[in-house]
Structure 1
Amino acid sequence: MRELLLFCEDSFHENFVVPIIRRIAEDQALSPAIKVASSVGGLPKLVGEFKDLLREVARMKSSPPECIVVVADANCLGHNERKNLFVDMIRNHHPGFEQIGYAAQLGGQEWAEDVAGAMDLTRAEIAEASFGLFTKAIRGRFAAWKTSAH
């Protein structure tokens, strides 16, 4: 089974992004295992805990996850600065991984799963460019999984 590791800045991201990833996977007839880890306390704490997580992944006896998705708020650093920060950390620990980038700027945590299940992804991708980059990258990763032997 394919494995995706989702690392989020807070529980809202988990509640919203997991259903989006599942929808995209279902559209491509995939059902990857999604492991979720989250941080609470803002970007500095997120960075430290993500570095710790990468060290743990590097020490794993089994294969590392095939995809790591990092979701962080846009309120501290801009999209490119955050993306570069995490790309550098991922490359330092796992040179084969690539960062796809996504800036979440949404509210309404209590409805996150319902919204994710009901929303028109195509319309959202057009309206919010960073969301479009995220869904395109996830679709691309899943398409590659479907064409490669596991």
Structure 2
Amino acid sequence: MREITLFVEDHAHYEFLKALIQRLAREHSQVITLDWRNVRRGHSAVIQELKQFLRDLARGRGGYPDLVVVATDANCRGIAQRVKEIREVTDATAARVICAVPDPHVERWLLVDSAAFKAVLGRGCAAPDQKCERARYKRLLIEAIRQAGITPNLGGIEFAADIVAAMDLGQASRLDPSLQRFLDEMNGVFREWRS
């Protein structure tokens, strides 16, 4: 069994990545456990808790997981900048680390596959553009769910697992380079573990 430790900035990342990583693990016939370290308070809390976690590992407080996934939205800074910020913290560690950086926000990943959205909610959604505006994709997700005749109780994140299960990951990743980047890295890890 492989242990994956995840640092995520909010509940949306938690729900989306939990469903996606579990799906990929099944597709690669891998048995995993997910250890969550942060699911609130944003990017700066992720970085602070990641630093503390890595310090604790370096001091022998706990064993190294098989993989650490760090998830934070690009938030108009771009993938390269966010990855750089994470790598500044993780480069000196022996832990294997990959980054999940939705550009600009994780809610866009839920909207990128209209067919999956329709399979889950009964009505497709418009393919989202890629603009940088705070709360834009949260609003678009809520609007798309309401147009399907459903009132989202948790801003739409409650449908993440079902949408991820229905997604054509190849198509979705072609529409969103940040999703493609994460899928390529995660699939690479699972392929390596299978060898």
Distance 2:13 2:176 in 1: 16
Q: Specify the structure having the higher radius of gyration (Cα).
A: 2
- Give the conservation status (yes or no) of the 8 Å contact 1:58–1:64: no
- Give the conservation status (yes or no) of the 8 Å contact 2:16–2:161: yes
- Give the conservation status (yes or no) of the 8 Å contact 2:174–2:180: yes
Alignment of 1:28-107 (within 5 A): 28-60=28-60, 62-75=62-75, 77-92=77-92, 94-95=93-94, 97-103=96-102, 105=105, 106=107, 107=138
5+ residue gaps, structure 2, are 108-137, 139-155
5+ residue gaps, structure 1, are none
Give 3-state SS (helix, strand or coil) of 1:103's partner. coil
- Give the conservation status (yes or no) of the 8 Å contact 2:67–2:95: no
Aligned-pair RMSD on alpha carbons? 1.9
- Give the conservation status (yes or no) of the 8 Å contact 1:7–1:70: yes
Residue deviations 1:3-48 (CA, integer Å, cap 9, x gap): 1111100111111101100111111111111111214223222221
Partner of 2:165: 117
CA-CA distance at 1:101 after TM superposition: 4.3
Would you identify which runs of 4 or more consecutive aligned residues in structure 1 move more than 4 Å?
A: none
TM-score by length of 2: 0.68
Query: 2:9 matched to 1:9?
Result: yes
Q: Which amino acid aligns with 2:193?
A: W
Give 3-state SS (helix, strand or coil) of 2:41's partner. coil
- Give the conservation status (yes or no) of the 8 Å contact 1:3–1:66: yes
% identical equivalent positions = 29
Query: 2:179 matched to 1:131?
Result: yes
TM-score by length of 1: 0.86
Give 3-state SS (helix, strand or coil) of 2:98's partner. coil
- C-alpha spacing 1:35/1:60, structure 2 compared with 1 (3 Å): farther
Q: Which amino acid aligns with 1:103?
A: P
CA-CA distance at 1:137 after TM superposition: 0.7
Query: 2:191 matched to 1:143?
Result: yes
Where relative contact order (Cα < 8 A, 6+ residues apart) is larger, the structure is 1
Distance 1:23 1:52 in 2: 29
Residue deviations 1:63-94 (CA, integer Å, cap 9, x gap): 301111111122263211110111121122x1
